[in-house]
Amino acid sequence: MASESTGTSTNDAPTGAGGPTGAGSPTGAGGQTGAGAAPGTGGTPGTGGAPSGRAAAKAARREQLLTVAKALFARHGFHGVRLEDLANGAGISTPAVYRHFQSKEAVLEELLVRISEYLHSGGREVITGAAAPASAAEVLVRLIDFHIDFAMSEPELIRIQDRDFAALPEQSRRTIRRLQRAYVSDWARVVEDVHPDWGPEGATIRVHAVFGMMNSTPHLARGLSPENVSRQLRTAARAALELGR
């Protein structure tokens, strides 16, 4: 993820500013819409019940390591953080980290793959899970709200993906690209339903432009009122997609 202003073509999964999780602009273990909001891994094997005390403690420690990693990777970059730093941040020994992750790369994979899975499944839920029939324009407004909530809550993960995507193993990069392409396609289909005259290509271009704006602005507008940033982003995204207020 080269720089905060880097984009990619519509034929390759966008991981720059114009992509679903690109930066200027994610993903995190502890954020509202990041990995911490993704499905957990606890539970008693084979029972479907609540996790045992030991399993719950292990799951909590794993999430703590992800939260620490998110902050450190965003601040120092993936290559500037040692496994020992993650251990110190979580208050455990370095060997204890291996009870949860095989390597520092595995931590990065967990953060970035999980957020892409979250966006993909969450976007699908917005599109298909409306309690009552909704127009395409109404669905598009909900998608905008969904993505802005993500971008506002996960600037650290967006920064990590933008800068450290290349540090992922190839298989994980492919997985993220596939999920991001699907997310873009889902948005573009809704946009085309609202504006049939734009066609698939025009709809996809607009989606990439809106992603770039939504992902970059929370990072660039640090220090400003989050409420105002969110409100202005919603107004600008609707204008870019030619939706009424």
Task: Provide DSSP, 162-210.
Answer: HHHGGGS-HHHHHHHHHHHHHHHHHHHHHHHHH-GGGHHHHHHHHHHHH
| Percentage of residues in the chain having pLDDT higher than 90 | 68
Q: What is the mean pLDDT of residues 108-125?
A: 96
Which CATH number characterizes residue 141's domain? 1.10.357.10
Burial 70-83 (b: 16+ CB within 10 A, else e): bbbbbeeebeebeb
Average pLDDT score, the chain:
82
Confidence of residue 18 (pLDDT cuts 50, 70, 90): low
* pLDDT score, position 220: 73
For residue 5, being part of any structural domain is answered with no
Distance, CA of 132 to CA of 71 (rounded, Å)? 39
Mean pLDDT across the stretch 9-21? 50
Q: Domain count for the chain, please give it.
A: 1
Q: Which domain range does residue 170 map to?
A: 35-240
pLDDT, average across residues 152-161:
93
Q: Indicate whether 23 belongs to any domain.
A: no
Residue 12 maps to a domain: no
Which position has the higher pLDDT, 41 or 225? 225
> What pLDDT digit, counting tens, does each position of 34-87 carry?
333 433 333 333 445 556 788 888 899 999 999 999 999 999 999 999 999 999
Q: What is the DSSP letter of 232?
A: H
Cα–Cα distances (Å) from 153 to 33, 172, 208, 232, in that order, read 7, 23, 20, 16
Is 48 domain-assigned? Answer: yes
Q: What is the pLDDT of residue 192?
A: 97
Q: Assess if residue 22 is contained within a domain.
A: no
| pTM assigned to the model | 0.79
Name which residue leads in pLDDT, 159 or 49.
Answer: 159
Q: Is residue 165 part of a domain?
A: yes
154 within a domain of the structure (yes/no): yes
Answer with the residue of higher pLDDT: 65 or 7.
65
Distance CA 137, CA 241 (A): 10
